[in-house]
Structure 1
Amino acid sequence: MDRLNAMAMLVKVTETGSFSAASKALGVPLATLSRKVSDLEKQLGARLLVRTTRKLSLTEAGIHYVAASKRILEQVEEAERQAGGEYTQPKGELVITAPQMFGRLHVLPVISEFLANYPEIRIRLLLADHNLDLIEEHVDMAVRIGRLPDSTMVATQVGSVRVITCVSPALLSNIPALSHPEDLLELPCVTQDTNRNATTWRFKQPGSSNSLELAIQARLSVTNSDAALCAAIRQVGITRLLHYQAADAIAKGQVQIILPEYEPSPLPIHLLHASRGIMPLKMRSFLDFAAPRLKDSVSALQSPPSG
């Protein structure tokens, strides 16, 4: 068991990139962590890590050993789950990730209902607008919005969401009539971006498979959808959002959709999980429970395009 513990510590050091970061992540004193890895190297008779003041890197032997350690630790974890009954009854912890606003509005209500029905399951919900690595972060299931790259992951589509352009009615009344996306190039816009380059907005040409891409020069650039929506409501400019992000503001008349005939194709929404043989019952139970409810929740947003 000490050997497995040392393996886990070594893997965490390589994942975090430093002994100090791994020490904080594991809650283990730095001196203990360093000694365990050194003892492991002595037992193996091979150097696994090259430590300098600036960086940490693996030797060739270390690369192979860490890869093997990950496989072994995954097999041990799988065996423990089987022994703990996760394959015979739905229980244990589930780690789920979702985009922040979608998770709060659509995933959290489903999780609340699920927990009321499955008292022996605990859930850790990670809300993040960047995609977490399911394997590296030990995530059981993810909600992903957008086209999925080819991978070994298993995906269940629960719907799709429109990509809309919206504006405050007050601002709309003070600008020239909009008839084409290129009209936006002359108007104040609010974009979501983390760098200083122009943001590209893609539109679909009506009656054609061709698309139109516009490099939008932002009057205001923000880093999340909440801020973009708030700025649009305050008449700072026109913004581009996913429909669910603006649905409440649209219903209240704070913003309205423009140029709906030029909307790009809706983005798919999937529940995603790693393919690891037999699925633990806690995951199967959640997938079977959540998928139809998310479909109902998402389909309620799919109103006909309107301006």
Structure 2
Amino acid sequence: MDLNDLGDFLLVAASGSLGKASRASGKPKATLSRRISDLEEHLGVRLVERSARGLMLTEAGQLLASRIEAPMGEVAEAMIATREGMALPRGHLRVASPVLFSQLAMGQISAAFCAAYPEVLIEVVAEDRMVDLVDEQFDVVIRVNPSPDSTLVGRCFAKDRLVVVAAPGIAQPDPGAVRQVPAIVASTFQSGRWDLDNGRLVLEPIPRLRLSSFLMIRDAALAGAGVALMPESIAWHHLARGDLVQWGVVSGADPALWVLHTSRRLAAPKVRAFVDFLCARYPDMSLVLNG
């Protein structure tokens, strides 16, 4: 299969007619028609319906166009960069990022990235759900402790810790038997215990507040509403000032942040640049201080 056939098919699909595609590209209508016919013969399906009013994509044609538009764009971008002798990041970069990390860090990160790469328009979508990079046209996704996925590649760029904290006025229980404590928990919390520092202290949280955001949980803990579990990266400022007291680190629950992109696409210069930029932002892999 000739990539030119795919490129010309996309051109005709976007133009809606052979005449418009011919005027836009400078290619003869006969050449464009022949390449679409060659592509249809190769695939064994009809891609367009021809009529006096123009061309209309068949269901198969719509499916093919939706699947190849982004990869063909990246191939074209790479060819331009190679022809110019440099791989300058440029274009529209869409990033899906967890809500908490977006609120705490992505504003500064995206501003610094734009300053370093002025030809890139970066769009960050704060989203906790599992987005589909291909169907939703994201170039990059940031995930916490992602499950193995053969369709994605990337790098771990930072790690965090889950800590249990409380306001100074709440007395910390002595180690020993399981201790019940008034707790501020996530809205999804069911039941369970907080095992701190490999069993040094085991707490049974008794919910007093259920909140859907770690930032709300932190603020409620600062107000003295109870004991709370949260990422160290959002509490360390208050721990350093003494506004909160750390009771311990939850054993075996370290969050790791990964920056991922699909392995089925050519990694465009803008994607490579963002991955490298984000990893360089956290040289010691710690979200504390660097977040």
TM-score by length of 2: 0.68
* Structure 2 equivalent of residue 290 of structure 1: 278
> Tell me, which stretches of 5 or more residues in structure 1 are unaligned?
7-41, 45-64, 303-307
Counterpart Cα distance in 1 of 2:160 and 2:134 = 27
Does residue 258 of the first structure (1) align with residue 247 of the second (2)?
yes
- Per the alignment, residue 40 of structure 2 pairs with none
Alignment TM-score, normalising by the size of structure 1: 0.65
CA offset digits 1:228-263 (Å, max 9, x no partner): 011111111111101112122222222121033x53
Q: Give distance in 1, aligned partners of 2:99 and 2:283.
A: 18
Q: CA deviation at 1:206?
A: 2.6
- Assess, with a 3 A threshold, how the Cα gap between structure 1 residues 101 and 191 changes in structure 2: closer, same or farther: same
Partner of 1:249: 238
* 1:273 to 1:177, Cα distance in 2 relative to 1, 3 A: same
Q: Is the 8 A contact 1:204 1:264 kept in 2?
A: no
Q: CA deviation at 1:128?
A: 2.6
Identity of aligned residues (%): 21
Q: C-alpha separation between the residues in 2 aligned to 1:103 and 1:247?
A: 18
Name the amino acid aligned to 1:227: M
Q: Corresponding residue for 2:173?
A: 177
Instruction: Give the match for residue 130 of structure 2.
Output: 131
Q: Distance in 2 between matches of 1:43 and 1:181?
A: 75
Q: String of CA shifts for 1:148-204, please: whole Å, max 9, x gaps.
A: 33432112011211011111111x23xx62425831xx221011124xx62445536
CA distance in 2, matches of 1:5, 1:272: 34
> How many residue pairs get matched?
236
User: Which amino acid in structure 2 is aligned with residue 273 of structure 1?
Assistant: H
Aligned partners of 2:232 and 2:288 also within 8 Å: no
Matched residue type, 1:182: V
Structure 1 residues 205 and 69: CA distance shift in structure 2, 3 A:
farther
Instruction: After superposition, give the CA deviation of every residue in 1:202-241 in whole Å (9 maximum; x if it has no partner).
Output: 5367389xxx8x7744111010111101111111111110
Distance change (3 Å), C-alpha of 1:201 and 1:150: farther
Deviation for aligned residue 1:294: 2.8
Question: How far did 1:2 drift?
Answer: 7.7
- Give the alignment partner of residue 73 of structure 1, picking from 56, 63, 66: 66
Where 2:128 maps in the other structure, the secondary structure is: coil
What is the Cα deviation at residue 91 of structure 1? 0.6
| Matches of 1:216 and 1:147, distance apart in 2 | 27
Bigger proportion of residues as helix: 1
Counterpart for residue 100 of structure 2: 101
RMSD: 3.5
| Stretch moving more, 78-87 or 288-297 | 78-87
Contact between 1:134 and 1:274, CA under 8 Å: does it hold in 2?
yes
Cα distance per residue 1:36-94 (max 9 Å; x no partner): xxxxxx969xxxxxxxxxxxxxxxxxxxx58x855542312222333354674311010
Letter of the 1:136 counterpart: D
1:130/1:245 Cα in 2 relative to 1: closer, same or farther (>3 Å)?
A: farther
User: Corresponding residue for 2:158?
Assistant: 159
